[in-house]
């Protein structure tokens, strides 16, 4: 079922933070206990953190669902490849809310993905 509360939390993270230049995406993550953690991106030419990564860094490691929302009424946006790779390595069971209102397990967004966590022995 679609998680409007999570979408609204991601959008709310942008209120007062979005500047149309360096902070343009808000994200929200739901933990297993229902707690929601948010974050915003910080664009920089060296590869500043995406909003999803900031929100995930605020969790206790038990994230179950994530969504990102763009500024200027762009609505829900799909995670980039780097975020997908980090999620599949560190949060392999997380569900991702997508722009078409689908909720997709991250593993389905990365079929055949290289699993750094397994290769390095650092699986969560």
Burial class (CB in 10 A: 0-12, 13-18, 19+), 80: middle
Domain containing residue 93: 4-120
Render pLDDT for 92-108 as a digit per residue (tens, 0 to 9).
Answer: 999 999 999 999 999 99
Q: Could you confirm whether 52 is annotated as catalytic? A: yes
pLDDT of 45: 83
Render pLDDT for 33-81 as a digit per residue (tens, 0 to 9).
Answer: 999 999 999 988 888 899 999 999 999 778 999 999 999 999 999 999 9
Q: Out of 5, 52, 95, 118, pick the active-site residue.
A: 52
pLDDT of 30: 98
CATH code at 61? Answer: 3.40.140.10
The domain total for the chain is 1
> What is the reported pTM?
0.90
pLDDT of 124: 60
Helices of type H across 31-115: 51-57, 81-90, 106-109
pLDDT of 58: 92
């Amino acid at each position: 079922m679609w998680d409007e509360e999570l979408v609204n939390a991601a959008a709310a993270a942008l209120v007062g933070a979005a500047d149309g230049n360096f902070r343009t995406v808000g994200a929200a993550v739901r933990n297993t206990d229902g707690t929601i953690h948010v974050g915003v991106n910080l664009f920089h030419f060296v590869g500043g953190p995406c909003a999803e990564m900031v929100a995930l860094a605020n969790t206790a490691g038990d994230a179950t669902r994530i969504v990102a929302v763009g500024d200027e009424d762009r609505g829900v946006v799909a995670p980039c490849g780097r975020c997908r790779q980090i999620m599949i390595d560190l949060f392999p069971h997380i569900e991702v809310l997508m722009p078409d209102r689908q909720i997709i397990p991250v593993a389905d967004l990365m079929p055949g993905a290289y699993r750094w966590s397994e290769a390095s022995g650092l699986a969560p």
